[in-house]
Structure 1
Amino acid sequence: MDKPVIILGAKGIAHPALEIFNSNQVIVYGFLDEDEKLHGTEINVVPVLGNPEDDGFLKLIGKKCEAFVAVDDNKYRQFLVQMLNEKRKVQPINAIHKTSYISTDATLGHGNFINAQANIGAGAKLGNHCILHSAAIIDHLAEIGDFVQVGAGSIINAGVVVKEGAFIGSGVVIVSGVTIGKNARVGAGSIVISDVKDGETVFGNPAAPIKK
């Protein structure tokens, strides 16, 4: 990658995203964050320049810089992606740690965060703007929708379908063939042996719906 990167967001996955770009010898120009208290500070000598909606910085994206959205909150992540699409006509780039493994015939979208030791198997499909934390496994032929977050050490087994906006906590195991619905949530350490409905929250071994 020839162009430097501006990272939108300076909390959560922003610091490991910087480490990913550093590990791939990609220059990070700076961070943009809505929290004014962070403006003028640094993360590992890289400055927090200003607000993500500041046109003075946004105008650099697509011409002199690429962009990566390092925001954990899905709604705000979607807002920033849409802003980049509409104002700059660009898609955020992927941040892929050099120690991760991605099969040669896996399919990846745009703007994904793939941390150290993550593994994406043969024929797997990863949508856009997903977050895969350290050592997450997406086994062969699994399908992950847009804006999905998978916690550290979780195992998404072969043929699993995880729909848009779902959250999978750390250390989760989803057995082969299960479907996780849109915007569903799976609590950390759960073992999921049956389908999870859209918007449902499950937890435990075996995972069961949490009553609201």
Structure 2
Amino acid sequence: MDKPVIIFGAKGIATPALEIFNSNEVVVYGFLDEDEKTHGTEINTVAVLGNPEDDGFLKLIGKKTEAFVAVDDVKYRKFLVELLNERRKVQPINAIHQTAYISTDAALGHGNFINARVTLGAGSELGSHCILHTGAIIDHKAKLGDFVQVGAGSVINSEVTIEEGAFIGSGVTIVSGVTIGKNARVGAGSVVISSVDAGTTVFGNPAAKV
């Protein structure tokens, strides 16, 4: 990648996003964050420049820099993605750690956060703007929709479908063939052996509705 990156967000996954770009020798130009208290501070010597909606910084996106949205909150993440789509006509780039394994025939969308030692297996499909934390395993032919978050060390087995906006906590196991519905939530450490309805929260071994 020739262009430097501006990271939207200076909390949560912003620091590991910086580390990901560093691991790939990509220059990070700076951070933008809505919290004015962060402006003028630094994260590992990289400055928080100002607000994500500031046209002075936005006008750099697409021409001189790329953008990555490093925000955990799905609602605000969607807002920033739409902001970049509408005002700069660009999609955020993927942040993929150098130690992640991406199968040659895995399909990826835009703006995904893929941390260290994540595995995307053969024929797996990852939508856009997903967050895959350290060591998550997405096995062959699993399909993840947009804005899905998968916690550290979770195992998504083969041919699982996870629909848009679903949250999978850390250390979760989802057995083959299960579907996790839109905006569903799976608590940390759960073992999911049957499909989960949209908007439902489940927890436990085996996972049951909370």
The two structures have a TM-score, normalised by structure 2, of: 1.00
- Hey, what does 2:199 align to over in structure 1? 199
1:98 equivalent in alignment to 2:98: yes
- Hey, what does 1:151 align to over in structure 2? 151
Quote the offset at 1:168 in angstroms: 0.1
- Hey, what does 1:179 align to over in structure 2? 179
Uncovered stretches (5+) of structure 1, i.e. residues with no partner: none
What is the aligned-residue RMSD (CA, Å)? 0.2
- Hey, what does 1:160 align to over in structure 2? 160
Quote the offset at 1:64 in angstroms: 0.1
Q: Give the ranges of 4+ consecutive aligned residues of structure 1 lying more than 4 Å apart after TM superposition.
A: none
Q: Which amino acid aligns with 1:164?
A: E
How far apart, in 2, do the equivalents of 1:53 and 1:188 lie?
34
Uncovered stretches (5+) of structure 2, i.e. residues with no partner: none
- Hey, what does 1:10 align to over in structure 2? 10
1:45 equivalent in alignment to 2:10: no
Q: Deviations over 1:51-106 (max 9, x none)?
A: 00000000000000000000000000000000000000000000000000000000
Report percent identity of matched pairs. 80
How far apart, in 1, do the equivalents of 2:7 and 2:137 lie?
25
Quote the offset at 1:184 in angstroms: 0.2
- Hey, what does 2:27 align to over in structure 1? 27
How far apart, in 2, do the equivalents of 1:99 and 1:24 lie?
10
Quote the offset at 1:2 in angstroms: 0.1
- Hey, what does 2:130 align to over in structure 1? 130
Quote the offset at 1:188 in angstroms: 0.1
SS at match of 1:17: helix
How far apart, in 2, do the equivalents of 1:119 and 1:157 lie?
11
1:54 equivalent in alignment to 2:54: yes
The two structures have a TM-score, normalised by structure 1, of: 0.99
SS at match of 2:61: coil
